Amino acid sequence: MDEKQKKDFQEYVKQVTPTHNLGLQMAKAFVTGGTICVIGQVILNVCESLGLDKQTAGSWSALLLVLMSVILTGLNIFPSIAKWGGAGALVPITGFANSVAAPAIEFKKEGQVFGVGAKIFTIAGPVILYGILSSWVLGVVYWIWKMVMGAA
């Protein structure tokens, strides 16, 4: 490849490579995540005002946020929210609910066993697996540390 071809190719790559504004992405994530958290807090406050204790109100808040996420995923609205808000939509519990619901909806046409049953955790499965594995490893490290420090 000669120099002109290399230069033309580099110019082409520069033209087709999307540019990202990190500050704008962070602001969008902040607004999206903040909105989700405000909705969760409103649910929590309403539940507590209805006489529920803090733990039960928190459970209802999480449950309703998951339900809203699954409904918005089913209506094909959540992907647009996630595309705009990035990590602000995907990091809270709403993103995890979306990662379970989306494959179930997508593979429903393949049947309950080979579709939904086999594919429902394609996205969330690694998160669950490595979350449990890392918590187990950290628990063992903590246990060993306590044993060593307790013996000293």
Max avg pLDDT among 12-21, 78-87, 90-99: 78-87
Average pLDDT, the chain: 87
Least confident residue range of 14-28, 60-74, 120-134: 120-134
Which one is predicted more confidently, 121 or 145?
145
| CA distances, 35 to each of 42, 79, 120, 131 (Å) | 10, 16, 27, 26
Give me the DSSP letters along 45-60.
HHHHHTT--HHHHHHH
First to last CA, the chain: 67
